[in-house]
Amino acid sequence: MKLTRRILMGAAAGGFLLSGTAAMAQTELTFWSWRQEDRAFYQDIIKKFQAKEPGITVKFETYAPENYQTILSTALAAGRGPDVIQVRAYGNLETIATPGYLLALDQQNVPELANFPEPALAAETLRPDGKVYAVPFAMQAQLVVYNKKIFKDNNLNPPKTWDEMMALAQALKAKNINPFSNGTATAWQNETIVGGLLSSMLGKEFEADIVSGKANFTDPRFVNALAKLKDISQYFAPNFTGVDYPSSQQLFVAGRAAMFAGGSYEVANFKNQNPTLDLGVFPAPVLKAGDQALIATYYDGGYAVNAKTEKKDAALKFVRFLATPEYGTAFTNTLKNLSPIKGIKIEDPITQDVAKLAENSMSYLMLVRFRYQEPSGSVLLQSNVQKMLAGQQTPEQAAAEINKGIATYYKPFQK
Amino acid sequence: MQASRQQPRTLKHRLWVAFLVVPPIVFMSLFVVYPILSAFAYAFYDWQGLARGEFVGLKNFKEVLFGATMAPVVWNAFLHNVYALIALMIIQNGGGFFLAWLLYKEPFGFRFHRVAIFVPVVLSTIIVGFLWKLFLNPNFGIINQALYSIGLDSWAKPWLGDSSTALGALILANAWHFVGFPALVYLAGMQRIPPDVIEAARLDGTNEWQLLKNIVWPLVAPSTTILFTLLFIGAFNWFEIPYVMVGLDGSPFGSTDVLGLVFYRTAFGNQSASIQNFGMGSALATLLFLFIVVFASMLTLWLRRREIQF
């Protein structure tokens, strides 16, 4: 009797110890994302991380992008939520960082922040306290994607100046080829088109003047650029005011248009749908030869740590891993999206081109600077450019409307 | 003796009633009354994402109704809801009435048509929205293709991209989707009319129009009441068809914006253009709810009084 009891107690104690060590060894982190399509990549990354940190497991969970922000902020407001969080940037980061849901990151707890350029960190910085709340993951650019085969068949080269661009579009149209597949029916496409086609004409100086309040959106540089856009819109997809985002993508993917003004993120998507496409990218054409050609860049989002997590050390370890050049290289080469981490090795030639073009860039203006308050610069730009391209207002009117909306809250314009 | 036998029965009866009534009351309070009241309360606060900030009183309501930024958007959308209500009243409910009359007369193949008319109602709104978006595609949609093929090239339009036709296109898609419902309700109403009433009218020599106008229409008034009330509620809560066909922005440039889209954009944000303002969204939802409840009740009372019993 005594013996059996002892055996039982020993077994129980042994079991307790075993389960105890197991629990100590395995810290499970949850990691939320809206990138269901990148699941395989993240599973692979988690494996690589575990090879370095055998004591930590990471559970990757995704939610639909359109509901992600809502689900996430609901969970965080209830004091729950994941340990590691994929978050957006700029205004959308602020809605989550302002209530104190995210752990502030600095060179102390994440030394790898030194691997990032300043604008990338700025995208994940909360303006009121100046602290960084996430490790940035991708840089995007608005530029022109072109079909190399169509260009070659017609003896065309990527245009440098706006006049060359107009002549090229005219030449393509004369041969019954759609110069651009772009359409304006989906509101946000108007903003990407502006970024892709007008950045060089606006210029870095214009951005600086907007920030300082030296110029506003009624500035001739902005109005003239809009007028040029109105000009070139005759070469967009047929009936472009009724062509939505998916239709314009399909037109380009099917090889029925030579150019697509839009995001660098389109390239991987286009190639997935039609691997035979031979694609290239070029920056927005300049007004006169000798001006600096620019693309419009911004950062997509970052990886943050839940301020309330009980597994802070493990979560920080994981986030630090997501800030290494090793991770940046894998991210860039697998997802064909440019990681902002310095010192990565890029395999894909188009991504290399984008990285090179990014050396001369201005901000994707409305997202980076004016998406913090309503009416956001994006809402104003999208609807007013849409209206202008539909022929229902002049470039001057569009610029005045945009300026009026932003001036309701933007101090430098109120002087 | 009898009293003592009844005593336990009433207690049992009461328990039984409580057993039946309490779960639905708890359910309703938890999942209907509480959310409505809390949305109402939320509207009085400032919000940072979904974190509640300070109490701001009626500021959100004021902003929604009179603010320089929000009010023009809200009133523009409200006007579109009103258009949709009037247009759907005529096309959807009116069309339903005439379809019902055709079916009522049992023409050849009426059994088939009775089912066929109702089929779109059963389809998911998402599917109907995508279907019509394809039909209306300016370059390969069947509507423009059909116009080209009969030589009416000048009639072809980018329907959803043209601010003068986009809202109309949404209204037609919605009418196509739901016309079977009023048709069925009216048909049931017509079949309830005693045949001798119609017989008598015919013997008195009424023509078809007089019969419809003076006999059938007044006698299906109860159907009209319910259909109008439902349409009223539906038109002011309109969301799915616009969302699927033109997106959250009410594209092009707000010409198809309705209150449902404004509410969604405001409360939950629009990933590609704006950030969320939960307090203002709640204020808008509360106002919309009050508007619908008050007007729908008044409408029902008013329409009920006009019904005729037979």
pLDDT digits (tens, 9 = 90+) for A152-176: 999 999 999 999 999 999 999 999 9
> A185, B159: Cβ pair inside 8 Å?
no
Quick one: pLDDT at residue B102? 92
> A387, B252: Cβ pair inside 8 Å?
yes
Tens of pLDDT, residue by residue over B1-59, are 444 455 556 888 889 989 999 999 999 998 888 888 888 888 898 887 777 888 888 88
Best of B132, B139, B143, B148 to substitute, by most chain A Cβ atoms within 10 angstroms, is B139
List CB contacts of A312: < 8 A, sequence separation 6 or more: A103, A305
**Are B53 and B282 contacting, i.e. CB atoms less than 8 angstroms apart?**
no
Quick one: pLDDT at residue A14? 47
d(C-alpha A387, C-alpha A395), whole Å: 10
Quick one: pLDDT at residue A169? 95
Rg (CA), chain B: 25
A73 touches chain B (CB under 8 A): yes
Q: A21: pLDDT confidence band, cut at 50, 70 and 90?
A: very low
Quick one: pLDDT at residue B8? 58
By Cβ distance, the residue of A96, A371, A392 closest to B49 is: A96
Q: Which two tokens stand for residue A233?
A: 């819109």
> B252, A243: Cβ pair inside 8 Å?
no
A92 touches chain B (CB under 8 A): yes
Best of A241, A364, A366 to substitute, by most chain B Cβ atoms within 10 angstroms, is A241
> A95, B276: Cβ pair inside 8 Å?
yes
Packing angle, helices A395-407 and A377-389, rounded to 10: 160
- Enumerate the residues of chain B whose CB falls inside 8 A of the CB of residue A70: 50, 268
A182 touches chain B (CB under 8 A): no
Average pLDDT over residues A87-101: 89
> B273, A241: Cβ pair inside 8 Å?
no
Quick one: pLDDT at residue B48? 76
> B48, A98: Cβ pair inside 8 Å?
yes
User: Mean pLDDT in chain A?
Assistant: 90
Report the gap between the CA of A293 and the closest CA in chain B (Å). Answer: 26
Quick one: pLDDT at residue A415? 72
**Are A184 and A174 contacting, i.e. CB atoms less than 8 angstroms apart?**
no
Q: Is the pLDDT of residue A3 over 90?
A: no
Which region among A63-72, A169-178, A254-263 has the lowest average model confidence (pLDDT)? A63-72
**Are A263 and A146 contacting, i.e. CB atoms less than 8 angstroms apart?**
no
A382 touches chain B (CB under 8 A): yes
A70 touches chain B (CB under 8 A): yes
Average pLDDT over residues A326-349: 91
Report the gap between the CA of A276 and the closest CA in chain B (Å). Answer: 24
- Enumerate the residues of chain B whose CB falls inside 8 A of the CB of residue A372: 275
Q: Which helix (H) or strand (E) holds A259?
A: strand A257-263
Residue A189 has, within 13 A of its CA and on its CB side, a CA count of 28
Report the gap between the CA of B282 and the closest CA in chain A (Å). Answer: 14
- Could you give the 3-state DSSP secondary structure of residue A42? helix
- Enumerate the residues of chain B whose CB falls inside 8 A of the CB of residue A65: 271
- Enumerate the residues of chain A whose CB falls inside 8 A of the CB of residue B162: 241-242, 390
Q: Per-residue pLDDT for chain B (310 aa), expressed as one digit of tens each?
A: 444 455 556 888 889 989 999 999 999 998 888 888 888 888 898 887 777 888 888 889 998 999 888 899 999 999 999 999 999 999 999 999 999 999 998 888 888 998 999 999 999 999 999 999 999 999 889 999 999 999 888 888 899 999 999 999 999 999 999 999 999 999 999 999 998 998 998 898 888 889 998 889 999 999 999 999 999 999 999 999 999 999 899 989 999 999 999 999 998 888 788 888 888 999 999 999 999 999 999 988 988 887 766 5
How many residues belong to chain A?
A: 415
- Is ipTM beyond 0.95? no
Quick one: pLDDT at residue A23? 46
**Cis check: omega of the bond before B72, within 30 degrees of 0:** no
> A241, B275: Cβ pair inside 8 Å?
no
A378 touches chain B (CB under 8 A): yes
d(C-alpha B198, C-alpha B206), whole Å: 10
A181 touches chain B (CB under 8 A): no
The terminus-to-terminus CA distance of chain B in angstroms comes to 49
* Closest chain A residue to the Cα of B250, Cα to Cα: A187
- Enumerate the residues of chain B whose CB falls inside 8 A of the CB of residue A405: 69
Taking alpha carbons only, the member of A255, A95, A116 closest to residue A181 is A255
Which region among A4-18, A383-397, B175-189 has the lowest average model confidence (pLDDT)? A4-18
Cα four-point dihedral sign B38, B43, B44, B47: positive
Q: Which two tokens stand for residue A105?
A: 């990151």
Q: Is the pLDDT of residue A45 over 80?
A: yes
Report the gap between the CA of B153 and the closest CA in chain A (Å). Answer: 13
> B49, A187: Cβ pair inside 8 Å?
no
Q: Please report, as a single letter, which amino acid is at residue A64.
A: A
d(C-alpha A234, C-alpha A238), whole Å: 9
